[in-house]
C-alpha cells in the first residue's frame, strides 16, 4: 500500500510535467490539480512512514 502511494505520486508528477511542458495552457488548471495531488500523496507517505 505504501509503495502504491509513491507510484501514484510519481505518475501524477510525470503527468503534470508532460501536460505542462507538452501542452502548455491547453489543459489549463487540470495540470496544477495533478501537481497538488502528487504533493499531497508524497506528504501523506512521509507522515505515515514516520509513525512506525
Helix (H, G, I), strand (E, B) or coil at 23: helix
Burial pattern 5-25, b for ≥16 Cβ within 10 A else e, equals beebbeebbebbeebeeeeee
pLDDT digit string, tens, across residues 9-47: 788 778 777 776 776 666 666 767 777 888 888 888 888
Tell me the pTM. Answer: 0.53
* Domains identified in the chain, total number: 1
Contact 51, 15 (CB under 8 A): no
Domain encompassing residue 40: 2-50
Amino acid at each position: 500500500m505504501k509503495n502504491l502511494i509513491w507510484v501514484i505520486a510519481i505518475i501524477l508528477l510525470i503527468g503534470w510535467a508532460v501536460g505542462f511542458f507538452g501542452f502548455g495552457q491547453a489543459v489549463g488548471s487540470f495540470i496544477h490539480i495533478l501537481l497538488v495531488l502528487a504533493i499531497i500523496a508524497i506528504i501523506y507517505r512521509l507522515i505515515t512512514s514516520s509513525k512506525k
